[in-house]
Amino acid sequence: MSFEYFIGGRYLRARQKQAFITLITILSIAGITVGVMTLIVVIAVMTGFEADLKTRILGGQSHVVLRHEGGAFTGYRRLVKEVEKIDGVEAATPFNNVLGMLRSKSGVSPAMIKGIDPATAGRVIKTLKDVSLPDHSNLTNLKDNFSAAPAIVLGKELASNLGVIEGNIISLLSPGDMRSSIVQIPMMKQFKVSGFFRSGMYEFDSSFAYIHLKDAQKILRMGDSVTGIEVRIEDIYKAKEIAKKIDAKLGHPFLTQDWIQMNQKLFEAMKNERIAMFIILTLTILVAAFSIASSLIMLVMGKIRDIAILKAMGSTNQSIRKIFIFNGMVIGLIGTVLGLGLGILLCTILKHYDISELTKNIYYFTTTLPVKLEIFDVISIVSSALVICFLATLYPAHQAAKLNPVDAIRYR
């Protein structure tokens, strides 16, 4: 060990004549510990929340949506087969969108009704894997035959708002075909609630309902046309690449949109929140770094005679700097390591602590917080803390190095 580190270690271990310096050192370590610990926990929870939200969104949403520039289109069966042949595509299914009002005996609620093909929809949207939607599109008189009413699957929250259970009859009031001219004749159709789905996203569960594709076509008076085709791919992070392949194969006038584009604002907002929280919480470490600088300045003032003797014995300015930089970095390293350990411990506790009673009505977390600690985040936090601590040592170390040994010994 070089003499700089030896002397720096002695200064750290020695009992200071001024207890105030020791107190500032302890507070500096505590400040860095709290700052690093808080950063690790908050960033881990936000990362976990984003990953969990992404999983829930993609559970109730396709990865890529194919639409026609002119609106509804025919020949979708052939297009589904062509899309499924593309490398990286797992499955595809047609759909129709129907805007309308759902009415039950207990209430009324606006809804986005989606017509789906039950045979293929479950392969694309996992929340629809077990839905039961028999084809009743050929039935016409349903008022006197409730048992033969076409089926509808409701989101859990939507069903709760309407106050219905499985087997109840509800009415759908729809404007019908929006492409028809001048006078719009609303269509009312009765459906039988055949089941429920829960995606974990309140926006989906409170506004979405699913009916058979043929029932949707009949309501919209659009023959054998569909609004679009939903696609599920094998690797969600290659959605943009797969979408380009679909565009290249089908060409104009077909357009694609991937799940990142569909949720761009949401994920951008979450990313900006993470950056903002990182900057705000880093200020805690910055405050602790000022304490390190203060304690080192006071240590330099108390060790002027020692510095003068070391310089008289031949120590260079660089050696003096090393002594005090070493002091400050040890304080910063201790605080960072303690903060890292406590942060990981707290993340582990939160990951296994049951908070369902606090969050089940807001976030749909079943039991625990979705904590996800990524190595890149840990490295970024630890590196930031150590860099701030290093910068805090530069001024006190520089002041110690430029002391004139003759003046220091003369006036002491």
Q: Model's pTM, two decimal places?
A: 0.71
pLDDT at 410: 63
Q: How far apart are CA 107 and CA 162, in angstroms?
A: 5
**Predicted pLDDT of residue 146:** 44
The pLDDT value given to residue 37: 92
Cα distances from 218 to residues 114, 174, 318, 344, 369, in angstroms, run 13, 11, 85, 57, 44
Position 145 scores a pLDDT of 46
User: What pLDDT, on a 0 to 100 scale, did the predictor assign at position 277?
Assistant: 85
Q: Which pLDDT value is given to residue 226?
A: 92
* pLDDT score recorded for residue 14: 58
Q: Which residues of the chain have pLDDT under 50?
A: 141-146, 178, 181
